[in-house]
Structure 1
Amino acid sequence: MARLNKYVVFLALIATFGGLLFGYDTAVINGAVDSLKAYFINPRFSDLANPAQADAASSLLGFVVSSALIGCIIGGLMGGWVSTVIGRKRGLVIAAVLFLISALGASAPEFPFAPIGHGGPAYMWNFVIYRILGGIGVGLASMLSPMYIAEIAPPKVRGNLVAWNQFAIIFGMLVIYFVNYGISKGGNGDAWLNSIGWRYMFLSGAIPASIFLLLLLFVPETPRYLMMKGQEAKARTVLDKLVTKEEADRELREIRASLSQNHSGKLFSFGAFLIFSGMLLSIFQQFVGINVVLYYATDIFKGMGMSTNAALMQTIIVGAVNLTFTVIAILTVDRFGRRPLQVVGGLIMAASMTWLGIELWTGGKGLGALIAMLVYTAGFAVSWGPVTWVLLSEIFPNQIRGKAMAIAVAVQWVANYLVSWTFPILNNNPFLVKHFHHGFAYWIYGVMSILAALFVWRKVPETKGRTLEQMESLWGSLKKAAIG
């Protein structure tokens, strides 16, 4: 890490707590699904043996489990206004507060209306509201954490530091998997877990949320936001702590020049293709199928004929591979560049998804299918997982970064929902199962991976080593060339 000082590392690590809570909060629900069904859903229905009531119960459970995603979309859309009007730092403070409220509220949704543990299904909607609030925190953090890191990081290590955020997301998921497992083993059977244990799972999120909120008291606002608000002296003070005096002088001049240019600050002032590029990066990151692996890995492995315990073990292996190759991305993104990693990763994912589809189509449910899934996970982790966030935090000019990232992040959460919703339909459709044996969906993700690689190869400029202001000049020149 050339010319990287401890203060930059300190600020980046604090910002990545937003990513950790992103992973923690979205994955905590996995350990509590059966308990939520027993506590909130089943008591609402008199005859679950009735197919109509059983379908209604499943639908309601699906809504409760996925309710945080509603908040994620709202938080993503709010992020532009929050980052521009309230600020990057204070936006992260809001996210931390929402994480804390959600953790406390979801663990005791009946408080203060009824004694904790005696609320029952009557307070299901309270639980949903708290999960939506947590989702808003996730949506805000998913945008603001990489943006904050990008705006305080020196250009030579910016990709490296922003990629830490993806590592933190995955690490947060792994932490809560182990926390949930420990809580489930610490009680007295399913009855305890369904009445009390699930509360501890959600309550555990209050610990990292409180730490994040406390640490944010020690971080400054980003220099670029301070300059946008006319606080040049404060921006200079922060820059002097982040880089050398010469680099601070140069960055200050570039930021000042970028803000003084005659741009309206409107979303499309640098051209519609820039916004479209950010949206496509977000869409492709989800349409390559990663959340099918993350959300449905246990069911996929069980569908291959594995026992529940074996499937859970394979899921842990998938998580370990994801984390390991994210580290490789962190170490290489500023050496090889963003575009090469995205293109190569897209091709690896395309090949492995095609392979996995063929394995399932031909009835292979053993080692070959497992290896294909692990290769796919490695390909994503070294490319489209962390590097997409790096690109999104770098490609947008100062004057529209908040608005543009808000749209990209909101689109990403919508794409996440679409993929998660359509996979069971594709995977369980009788016609597709009869003719392709659960392999068809993976071929679709393979095609999307090829399209993703082609898009980056043909249309996305390299951002490695460039300042954020240099990227702004690039898009300005491209727009002029297009007009000319």
Structure 2
Amino acid sequence: MKTKSISNNFYLLLISLVSAMGGLLFGYDWVVIGGAKPFYEVFFGIANSPGMQGWVMGSAILGCLIGVMVAGVLSDRYGRKPLMIAASITFTVSAIGTGAVNDIDWFIFYRIFGGIGIGIASNLSPMYIAEVSPGEVRGKFVSINQLTIVLGILAAQIANWLIADPVIAGEDMLNTWNGQMGWRWMFWAEVVPSLLFFILVFFIPESPRWLATKHQYTKAESILSRIGGKEYAKTEVATIRTVLQATKEKVNIRLLFQGKMPGILLIGIVIAAFQQWCGLNVIFNYAQEIFAAAGYGVSDILFNIVVTGVTNVIFTFVGMYTVDKLGRRSLMLFGASGLACIYIIMGVCYYLNITGIAVLTMVVLAIACYSMTLAPVTWVVLSEIFPNRIRGMAMAVSTFSLWAACFVLTYTFPLLNSGLGAYGTFWLYGIICILGFIFIKIKLPETKGKSLESIEKELTN
């Protein structure tokens, strides 16, 4: 029996890892631009244009919004697997195109195109894993998606650090290898994992819960039996059928606004937006400005970015270990309160012109706190709280909220940093974290250890 359980968990781990490669590409594509930023800005002549810098950094998010809508509309109709294949193709084309262009408009075009892949992957990968995982281990397995995101982030940070030549103070950046070719290779390096994702996704099964919504119960039971055994599969399919039969209405967007769904959807929208508006992701996207304000040079900044990436990975493991033990709600409350305290201290450091290791320490603490709480747990909650029949649509709405919030965050940071200063900007993020804490405390139910159908019954009845 023990051997069988290990075998089943190994199969579940394999298909989860393949699906989570969408998260790895999401993380790489999202962060690679931060390391390339000092070089492509000089190449394209936008180093002194905060508005243009914000648009270039935020342009991928426009693609994310498109990708989320595509995933939401098509994943409930055609399945999860075809959309993951589409995402892999999108990542590959974007990586090649972004590094090949010599015009800022085409650069932005390919960033938007890559954003479509990010939007699809951010919606589909955690949802697929949630739909194949048993309730008692679902939090841990959905968190694999966050782990691959941070591994993608770390891979981008290490690639940027290794690819870039040492920067000499006072040199003409435009006429260096970094300014002409270095930033291109940072984007091209993504082609290898994107092609691997394209190949491997053909070997994983379709989501059994999606198959069940299309009345393909035999296929669904066959897949679930490989994951948890025949008895588990029969029980799960029977429960899914009971829930589906209780809701005969044809799937359409009106279901999102009936009964208790608006309240559930509100939780998803706010939780998703809060994951971005807590402010942590600006540290990855605008690491250059944040560390420069703390007194670091470009080469030191690239190394510090790798330090933050390693921290991100280590504490994501902590989140994976605790999410099924401590629960989703308690981890999110800890994350919101912890970040609020850290941002207040960071603001004081910038206000008093305390630079160097003090700021780096606060940044590392903020990343540690975020990586084991809000970062992975948000995706777990979003993949759990919506009913089976409309999970694709509902999660798409929530993920749309996440990327819309991310666009606002990314676009406004240079403006806030310029207008309020670094200290005022981080104090503002601290206030948002306090408001997020209050919302989670009042609205978010605990979903630890429950089946998706059990959660659906509790929230909708």
Question: Given the two structures, how large is their TM-score scaled by the length of structure 1?
Answer: 0.87
CA apart distance, 1:34: 4.2
Q: Which residue is 2:82 aligned to?
A: 90
Q: Which residue is 1:305 aligned to?
A: 295
Pick aligned residue for 2:230 from 224, 242, 245: 245
Q: Which residue is 2:256 aligned to?
A: 267
Cα pair 2:79 2:206 within 8 Å, conserved: yes
Q: d(CA) in 2 for partners of 1:222 and 1:260?
A: 19
Amino acid of the structure 2 residue aligned with 1:450? I
Which shifted more, 223-232 or 193-202? 193-202
Cα pair distance change 1:298/1:17, threshold 3 Å: same
Q: d(CA) in 1 for partners of 2:300 and 2:160?
A: 18
Q: Which residue is 1:460 aligned to?
A: 444
Q: d(CA) in 2 for partners of 1:440 and 1:125?
A: 33
Q: Which residue is 1:256 aligned to?
A: 241
Pick aligned residue for 2:114 from 127, 130, 134: 134
Cα pair distance change 1:354/1:10, threshold 3 Å: same
CA apart distance, 1:407: 0.8
Q: d(CA) in 1 for partners of 2:446 and 2:138?
A: 13
Q: d(CA) in 2 for partners of 1:304 and 1:199?
A: 28
Q: Which residue is 2:215 aligned to?
A: 230
Q: d(CA) in 2 for partners of 1:39 and 1:297?
A: 19
Pick aligned residue for 1:212 from 175, 192, 197: 197
In structure 2, the residue corresponding to 1:336 is in which secondary structure? coil
Cα pair 1:102 1:134 within 8 Å, conserved: yes
Query: Does 1:445 pair with 2:434?
Result: no
Pick aligned residue for 2:98 from 101, 106, 114: 106
CA apart distance, 1:41: 4.3
Cα pair 1:64 1:128 within 8 Å, conserved: yes
Amino acid of the structure 1 residue aligned with 2:459? W
Q: d(CA) in 2 for partners of 1:313 and 1:37?
A: 20
CA apart distance, 1:249: 1.3
Cα pair distance change 1:418/1:307, threshold 3 Å: same
CA apart distance, 1:449: 1.5
Q: Which residue is 2:28 aligned to?
A: 24
Q: d(CA) in 2 for partners of 1:455 and 1:406?
A: 21
Amino acid of the structure 2 residue aligned with 1:271? M
Cα pair distance change 1:366/1:128, threshold 3 Å: closer
Q: d(CA) in 2 for partners of 1:77 and 1:175?
A: 28
Cα pair 2:57 2:410 within 8 Å, conserved: no
Q: Which residue is 1:286 aligned to?
A: 276
Unpaired segments ≥5 residues, structure 1: 43-47, 49-53, 110-119, 478-484
Amino acid of the structure 1 residue aligned with 2:309? G
The structure with more radius of gyration: 1
Cα pair distance change 1:233/1:20, threshold 3 Å: same
Q: Which residue is 2:142 aligned to?
A: 162
For CA contacts below 8 A with separation 6 or more, give which structure has more relative contact order: 2
Pick aligned residue for 2:380 from 390, 415, 426: 390
Q: d(CA) in 1 for partners of 2:403 and 2:136?
A: 30
Cα pair 1:150 1:393 within 8 Å, conserved: yes
Amino acid of the structure 2 residue aligned with 1:183? I
Q: Deviations over 1:99-130 (max 9, x none)?
A: 11212222334xxxxxxxxxx43xx4333332
Amino acid of the structure 2 residue aligned with 1:267? L
Q: d(CA) in 2 for partners of 1:64 and 1:449?
A: 27
Cα pair distance change 1:425/1:61, threshold 3 Å: closer
Q: Deviations over 1:337-361 (max 9, x none)?
A: 1111111121111111112122222
Q: What is the RMSD of the two structures over their aligned residues, measured on CA atoms?
A: 2.4
Amino acid of the structure 2 residue aligned with 1:105? G
Cα pair distance change 1:107/1:355, threshold 3 Å: closer
Q: d(CA) in 1 for partners of 2:219 and 2:274?
A: 38
Q: Which residue is 2:318 aligned to?
A: 328
Question: Given the two structures, how large is their TM-score scaled by the length of structure 2?
Answer: 0.91
Cα pair 2:347 2:427 within 8 Å, conserved: yes
Amino acid of the structure 2 residue aligned with 1:15? S
Q: Which runs of 4+ in 1 moved over 6 A?
A: none
Q: d(CA) in 1 for partners of 2:303 and 2:99?
A: 28
Aligned residues: 447
